[in-house]
A = this chain, B = another copy of it.
Amino acid sequence: MRVAVDAMGGDKAPYEIVKGAILAAQQFPDSEIILVGDEKEIQRELNTYGKPLKNISIHHAPQVVKMDDPATSSIRQKTNSSITRSVELVANGKALAVVSAGHTGAAVAAAAMHLRTLKGVRRPGISAPLPTRHGICSIIDVGANIVCKPIHLFQYGVMATVFSKYIFGIENPRVGILNIGEEDAKGNDLAKETFALFSNSLLNFVGNVEGREIFDGKADVVVCEGFVGNVMLKFAEGIAMNFLSTIKEEAMKSFWTKVGLWLCKPSFKTLKAKMDFTEYGGVPLLGVNGVCIICHGRSNSKAIQNAIRVALQLSKNKVNEHIVSELEKTNTLTANIS
């Protein structure tokens, strides 16, 4: 199984990306990892690790999409960028999956442009795992599709159900709609119309889910418009960091709380690990014809290693094939919906 890794994408590229690729290549000796980007730079990084690994190769791409480049136009203009070249390897059948920690918008645009969508999929969506005390809740979409139609949210429910089942091993994932109240008739038109679609489907639909209920384990999959999902995910990151620093600040104010904080360290470590995005490696862009894993811009080698693992899992478990066949089953329900 070949995975194309965008070696130039991310705040710590190429150093952490190359290191993560090496870790993954060692962990999965049957896989082949293609590092895409500036050949010289990548080779220099690889050289620092001594003896070359047989299952790592380089694919040259001289350009880089920078974090402040506009998403779509940079993909159109920088046709030799590491992200475009990585996606093209998948489009041309030379790799099964692509992993990138670069510009998210550019990765989504490149994937949409070169991979196209899977049969039956209207719009791809990014599914992010949110760790709760009750397990992992998949939030979809978190930023690929800013303005959604009900059919998009419905299909996100189908796709994330498949993902949840084959990647997290949840037998019959419960699907909910992120909304401002639990009652059926709550929310904006998007939520109401999506509610009707899910109600008529065979999915394990549990109705509307409020923001706080995500943490009560009410659903395994929660669908929402990309704008809302993206805002919420970043908000969660902010609140978590704010929380930890406030506790630390407060505890440093007296001797005994300082001692308490020191004793509590293992608990904080577990908590941090549970909330650590690097554990999950990356989030899949579901619905494109190929496996595309998008990583946090701040990804370190561990995150990249885990992202490659997720990419391999998706290919191995034929998640895309299952998505196509599950969507086919909803054809009669959705055929006339625009």
CA gap between A246 and B270 in the complex, in Å: 9
Q: A28 an interface residue at 8 Å Cβ cutoff?
A: no
CA gap between A257 and B232 in the complex, in Å: 31
CA gap between A268 and B249 in the complex, in Å: 11
Q: A180 an interface residue at 8 Å Cβ cutoff?
A: yes
Assess whether B263 is in contact with A257, with CB atoms less than 8 Å apart. yes
CA gap between A112 and B281 in the complex, in Å: 48
Q: Give chain A's interface secondary structure class.
A: helix
Interface set, chain A 247-298, CB cutoff 8 A to B: 247, 249-251, 253-254, 256-257, 259-268, 270-271, 274
Assess whether A210 is in contact with B234, with CB atoms less than 8 Å apart. yes
Q: Which residue of B lies closest to A263 (CB)?
A: B260
Assess whether A68 is in contact with B183, with CB atoms less than 8 Å apart. yes
How extensive is the interface on chain A, given as a class? 35 or more
Set of chain B residues within 8 Å of A235, measured between Cβ atoms: 211-212, 214, 232, 235-236
Q: A178 an interface residue at 8 Å Cβ cutoff?
A: yes
CA gap between A224 and B143 in the complex, in Å: 17
As a 0/1 sequence over residues 226 to 253 of chain A, the CB contacts with chain B under 8 angstroms (1 = contact) are 1110111111111111110111011101
Given known A-B contacts A232-B232, A233-B211, A266 and B246 have beta carbons under 8 A apart: no
Assess whether B212 is in contact with A143, with CB atoms less than 8 Å apart. no
Given known A-B contacts A146-B187, A234-B211, A270 and B250 have beta carbons under 8 A apart: yes
Assess whether B232 is in contact with A231, with CB atoms less than 8 Å apart. yes
Given known A-B contacts A133-B242, A187-B146, A263-B256, A212 and B228 have beta carbons under 8 A apart: no
Q: Report the minimum CB–CB distance from A293 to chain B (whole Å).
A: 20
Interface set, chain A 85-109, CB cutoff 8 A to B: none
Q: A328 an interface residue at 8 Å Cβ cutoff?
A: no
Set of chain B residues within 8 Å of A233, measured between Cβ atoms: 211
Q: A321 an interface residue at 8 Å Cβ cutoff?
A: no
Assess whether A188 is in contact with B146, with CB atoms less than 8 Å apart. yes
CA gap between A183 and B68 in the complex, in Å: 8
Given known A-B contacts A68-B183, A147-B188, A274 and B246 have beta carbons under 8 A apart: yes
Set of chain B residues within 8 Å of A68, measured between Cβ atoms: 183
Residue in B185, B231, B260 whose CB lies within 8 Å of A264: B260
CA gap between A232 and B187 in the complex, in Å: 14
CA gap between A291 and B214 in the complex, in Å: 34
Q: Which residue of B lies closest to A105 (CB)?
A: B181
Q: Which residue of B lies closest to A212 (CB)?
A: B238
Set of chain B residues within 8 Å of A147, measured between Cβ atoms: 188-189
Set of chain B residues within 8 Å of A246, measured between Cβ atoms: 133, 271, 274
Assess whether A231 is in contact with B263, with CB atoms less than 8 Å apart. no
Assess whether B180 is in contact with A245, with CB atoms less than 8 Å apart. no
Q: A132 an interface residue at 8 Å Cβ cutoff?
A: yes
Set of chain B residues within 8 Å of A232, measured between Cβ atoms: 211, 231-232, 235
Extra contacts besides A232-B235, A254-B266 (20): CB < 8 Å? A133-B249, A147-B189, A180-B226, A180-B227, A211-B232, A211-B234, A212-B237, A212-B241, A214-B235, A228-B228, A239-B239, A239-B240, A246-B271, A247-B264, A247-B268, A247-B271, A260-B262, A260-B265, A261-B263, A263-B263
Q: Which 3 A-B pairs have the closest CB atoms?
A: A260-B263, A211-B235, A212-B238
